Amino acid sequence: MMGNGIDREIIISDSGEEDLGKTDETLQRKTDEGLQEKPEGIFSGQEKVKKKKPGINAEERAYRWMVRRKKGRQFVKKWLATAIAAFFAILFLMPIVLTITNSFMSSSEISSNYGQVFATNDTGGKTYISEKVNLKFIPDMVSFSQYITVLLKSPDYLFKFWNSVILVVPIVFFQLLVAVLASYGFTRYRGRLKEMIFFIYIILMLMPYQVTLVPNYLVSNWLHILDTRWAIWLPGIFSPFAVYLLTKFMRRIPISVIEAAQIDGAGEWQIFRRICLPLCKGCLCSVAILIFIDYWNMVEQPLILLSEDTMHPLSVFLSKIKNGEIGLAFAVATIYMVPTLLVFLYGEDYLVEGITYQGGIKG
């Protein structure tokens, strides 16, 4: 039997009779399967057309181009800034590297490379350099003779080194002590007179050492402390630099913290010791580092206020290099850099914290 072009099967039941109901169900199922297997559009005479994805319009294409261009500019700027920073870093590090490497050269090699810089004529005056100076970063032969002379054979250099320590350490300690007390007073108690005094501190801080040297000399002579270490200590201890920085730092401490402590019954000493000092720890370390580096390299004050060479620090010796002491100067300069480098590397985190502090407390 044929039905709609599809063979009709006759299903015989177990009893051997024709089952017409099941035959119709089988016919319908096969008809549906045949329709599903036929391609789309076969009855309408149309072929199947694949749908195309919508294309990128001009506005979106322009936006993507602008984003790529912006990223390219940022990439170029980043690498350009890195290259400039690296160039200046190398430029600034070259004298330090040159000093360290040249300290391991022999005296004859140093004289042949830099002798023309320190040459003098018969009358004792300086001469112009007639030959090119040979800047060498790698010695021909490593020699420790300069360090042996500085550390073992000649005690004068170590004596001057300890002169620097004796002059600088008391200045750092007592300047911080005076500054933290004065800064707390400027912070807690406002008034026209105190603001005027603080403004005078700022004016004095802006003045260079060369301007204040003559007044310091006259005052030291009047106090009869000239040619003593007190002539160096007193101006350094009462320097306005630390007072200014600590005052600006303490004024960023929220007043609500101090008021809460006063409500709890804290006095001025307890507020100063338990609130201000812990919060100013980073700033105190930053100021200590800056003061140490500043006074460790001082030259003018000892030259003017101390007439005896035995009391001069090592920095004064480095400013009076002679022709026969070039090699020793490299070794002494290398030793002289060690304390400042150690102090800076140890307190680098505190230095950054003291500069970037914006006020408030943690927790």
Query: Both 25 and 62 in a single domain?
Result: no
- Whether residues 81 and 173 share a domain: the answer is no
Q: What local confidence, expressed as pLDDT, does residue 322 receive? A: 66
Q: Give tens-digit pLDDT for 34-61.
A: 544 444 444 444 444 445 455 567 777 7
| Residue 213 is assigned to a structural domain of this protein | yes
- 181 shares a domain with 230: yes
Total domains in the chain come to 3
Give the range of the structural domain holding residue 197, as residue numbers without chain letter. Answer: 153-356
Residues ≥6 apart with Cβ < 8 Å to 314: 157, 160, 161, 163, 164, 332, 336
Tell whether 293 and 229 lie within a shared domain.
yes
Residue 349 predicted with pLDDT over 90: no
**Residues 174 and 303 placed together within one structural domain of the fold:** yes
For residue 157, what are the contacts with CB-CB under 8 A and spacing of at least 6?
150, 151, 314, 317, 328, 332, 335
89 and 11: one domain? no
Which residues on neighbouring strands pair with residue 2, listed in sequence order?
7
* pTM (whole model) above 0.85: no
Nearest one of 171, 176, 177 to 302, comparing CA atoms: 171
Other Cβ atoms less than 10 A from the Cβ of 152: the count is 9
Residue 351 structure tokens? 């230095």
pLDDT digits (tens, 9 = 90+) for 137-196: 788 888 888 888 888 887 888 888 899 999 999 999 999 999 999 999 888 887 788 888
Average pLDDT value for residue range 221-243: 91
Please tell me whether residue 12 adopts helix, strand or coil conformation. strand
Q: Let me know whether 98 and 176 are in one domain.
A: no
The reply to whether 256 and 302 lie within a common domain is yes
Residues 187 and 294 in one domain: yes
Mean of per-residue pLDDT scores for the chain:
77
Asked if residue 166 is part of any domain, the answer here is: yes
Give 3's pLDDT tier (boundaries 50, 70, 90).
very low
Token pair, residue 342, equals: 């150690």
In a shared domain, residues 204 and 81:
no
pLDDT in tens, 81-124: 999 999 999 998 888 888 888 888 887 777 777 765 555 555 55
Same domain, 177 and 274: yes
Residue 5 or residue 326, greater confidence: 326
* In-domain check, residue 136: no
Which pLDDT score, from 0 to 100, does residue 230 have? 93
For residue 230, being part of any structural domain is answered with yes
Q: Verify that 223 and 90 share a domain, yes or no.
A: no
Cα→Cα distances 237→66, 218, 329, 355, Å: 59, 18, 30, 22
Asked whether residue 203 carries a pLDDT value surpassing 50, the answer given is yes
